[in-house]
Structure 1
């Protein structure tokens, strides 16, 4: 018997894309759309919630952070589950949890109830992105995964672009309570559609049947240079994202003086720009790989460089006076972070055996989303501690800028996916299949 090896080089694959792959991609895009609509509603309704429940900035920051309290733990647990259980059923359970967690807010609630519901929602949403990516990778060979990954990432952007005007209209004309109820109904509708149309991709089984993979010890996977680089770089991007979800709309209303209706419209701008960044990154990455460019450049550099540029732009924000200039810098700076989400899951997939991919991507997601626990709370405390509201916001965004630049630099130094597989093979030598 020939020695067992890690999976063969992704670009050597000649596996065709199965029929129905793009239909499943679209359903998973809608899954991520609902996911981010659920995330954005607290930030969008931040001022009405703070007013009705009499919350200060520290309490509201805690509310934003509470969403991520069980986020990472749930992501890791479910990541190992999807190594054994079909993603079709896991996705259905997650979506049902989201829907059920929204309905208590339809009635009169206190801060504690809202906090608990957001913690439960976060536990249900923590595994979402990694499970969706793992599911879609069962429909596409490695060299064709950048664009589907970009489309899934667009679920987050369109979840905000479409949900913000609709939910803001509900908030302005009815109340923030009704906005939560609408999201609960939408979650149930997606669940019904997935139960009817959702299918498990065939390529995971084909890949496993085509080569008897070695199982790489998780310690080697999780301490590999590229895995660490993916976590470090995406951590900075997610810091910006979690601030956008929680604090951007309140900043527009309380910091810059816009009305709730105006702030709702402005709040979609980072996501529109981010959508363009993500789709461009996905297209450019696949084009470069098709031309033989290494994944170090086509994925690693392409993801890390925009993160650094975005951090530099965000650092300029406190030093401009015009509200329009501040908004533009925050929009472009945070939007450039989108590139890293497109390239990191495929990079991890390059050197991770198929049987371990679900858990590896989930652990990656669980680690970088720890930024979501810290960032909203830090911003709230900075606002409370500062002499003025604007000074507090600018201090918080400056911290964000520094973290983005450092994360981008770490990505540039550590993201070498095209050499990671060979390094792992060399460390294993000709050892038999790992348990």
Structure 2
């Protein structure tokens, strides 16, 4: 079996989409980074701030599904352009004096624009790489999130400390518009989109079959646990460092990049190991399914230790390592779904997967906010919230380990489609 060559320009598009995800996650992190100043200025209780964190995800899943079906018919180049324009425009109202309601509405709009981002970007990048070469580009795409935080946090925190949190939102709006211009000039549709025409000969699998397959369910369950940890990191990590552990806002800005630096290494390592294992003949059950699930179980077990140790340094280290290990699952699930989903249906399936696992983003920040507000003490509330996070991660990792069998999924689904209705 010969390996299909990678089209010219594939890595240019990968880099542009890496920047796309960089802006995407910088937009996400700013509320958590500016959490303490926002709560102080707007006089918010922890439960209200938790609601603000969750509001980003109110339309996130719905828009992901809608746009997922759209990209089956419209070139991803134009969809990506429209999404990034929405992100940029949603940031500018925060530059002025606003209230809680305006901030909440803008975050809902931003979430609607960012909901389809990763799935559309993955669908776009898969038009540039054949299946056996997709894990590493997916890992690089995922790293846009980590680098978005690593690069944006020090810059945005400097703006927050030296000016105010309003200007941090404005800076992100300008960055979003810059990406829109770059993509308009350099963005292209991948040549492997021609495989869609070839897929006309490939039987369509009913969406019910695809969405109830064990690997699809396993991907949703496993990534749900990872996203629970991620959404807590986006909303509550910096407030925990400042209010829970007593660091200054300036110091908290530097500490806040640690989980993302560690996670970046985990994601790139996972992408590299996965492709090496596949090149050596390991099935995608092992090279993708097991490789993505086990770190969730280990990470959750590490987080479970957090409330039982003393010392801010050790607590931060456990939080960084435990939550950072979640990154592996993001690398392996989209390629696993691509293994058994017909090309003409792939955009919608990956989008629905994203819509389902990101429901954790609605639940987790609000749960943490409520737990903190009604706990006996502030630190006790944070520790209870992180313990809940640990349980969710371990359970999701175990479900992934049990359900992720992509190497046999395609044959099974195609066999079901080929069976006569009246056998």
Taking the aligned partners of 1:367 and 1:204, their CA distance within structure 2 comes to 26
Deviation (angstroms), 1:430: 5.2
Residue by residue over 1:410-431, the C-alpha shift from the partner in whole angstroms, topping out at 9 and shown as x without a partner, is 0000000000001101211256
Taking the aligned partners of 1:72 and 1:214, their CA distance within structure 2 comes to 28
Taking the aligned partners of 1:109 and 1:93, their CA distance within structure 2 comes to 26
Match for residue 303 of structure 2 among 292, 307, 314: 314
1:323 aligns with 2:312: yes
Taking the aligned partners of 2:273 and 2:93, their CA distance within structure 1 comes to 44
Deviation (angstroms), 1:210: 6.6
1:72 aligns with 2:61: yes
Taking the aligned partners of 2:420 and 2:330, their CA distance within structure 1 comes to 34
Unaligned runs of 5+ residues in structure 2 are none
Bigger mean CA deviation after superposition, 203-212 or 359-368 = 203-212
**Equivalent pair of 1:13/1:141 in contact (CA under 8 Å):** no
Deviation (angstroms), 1:109: 0.3
Q: Tell me, what secondary structure is at the counterpart of 1:164?
A: helix
Q: How does 1:28-107 map to 2 (within 5 A)?
A: 28-107=17-96
Residue 287 of structure 1: aligned partner = 276
Q: Tell me, what secondary structure is at the counterpart of 1:340?
A: helix
Instruction: Return closer, same or farther for 1:53/1:428 CA change in 2, 3 Å cut-off.
Output: same
Taking the aligned partners of 2:208 and 2:198, their CA distance within structure 1 comes to 25
Residue 165 of structure 1: aligned partner = 154
**Equivalent pair of 2:195/2:343 in contact (CA under 8 Å):** no
Deviation (angstroms), 1:260: 0.2
Taking the aligned partners of 2:165 and 2:343, their CA distance within structure 1 comes to 43
TM-score (norm 1): 0.96
Deviation (angstroms), 1:168: 0.2
Residue by residue over 1:139-182, the C-alpha shift from the partner in whole angstroms, topping out at 9 and shown as x without a partner, is 00000000000000000000000000000000000100000000
Instruction: Return closer, same or farther for 1:86/1:13 CA change in 2, 3 Å cut-off.
Output: farther
Residue by residue over 1:59-92, the C-alpha shift from the partner in whole angstroms, topping out at 9 and shown as x without a partner, is 0000000000000000000000000000000000
Match for residue 176 of structure 2 among 183, 187, 205: 187
Taking the aligned partners of 1:14 and 1:33, their CA distance within structure 2 comes to 31
Match for residue 222 of structure 2 among 221, 225, 233: 233
1:266 aligns with 2:255: yes
Aligned-pair Cα RMSD in Å: 1.0
Residue 246 of structure 2: aligned partner = 257
Taking the aligned partners of 1:206 and 1:53, their CA distance within structure 2 comes to 52
1:371 aligns with 2:349: no
Instruction: Return closer, same or farther for 1:255/1:177 CA change in 2, 3 Å cut-off.
Output: same
Taking the aligned partners of 1:291 and 1:210, their CA distance within structure 2 comes to 28
Taking the aligned partners of 1:350 and 1:206, their CA distance within structure 2 comes to 14
Taking the aligned partners of 1:213 and 1:424, their CA distance within structure 2 comes to 12
TM-score (norm 2): 0.98
Q: Tell me, what secondary structure is at the counterpart of 1:215?
A: coil
Residue 117 of structure 1: aligned partner = 106
**Equivalent pair of 1:208/1:354 in contact (CA under 8 Å):** no
Taking the aligned partners of 2:2 and 2:278, their CA distance within structure 1 comes to 13
Unaligned runs of 5+ residues in structure 1 are 1-11
Paired residues in the alignment total 421
Residue by residue over 1:219-260, the C-alpha shift from the partner in whole angstroms, topping out at 9 and shown as x without a partner, is 000000000000000000000000000000000000000000
Residue 347 of structure 1: aligned partner = 336
Deviation (angstroms), 1:213: 1.2
**Equivalent pair of 2:196/2:344 in contact (CA under 8 Å):** no
Residue by residue over 1:113-146, the C-alpha shift from the partner in whole angstroms, topping out at 9 and shown as x without a partner, is 0000000000000000000000000000000000
1:128 aligns with 2:117: yes
Residue 399 of structure 1: aligned partner = 388
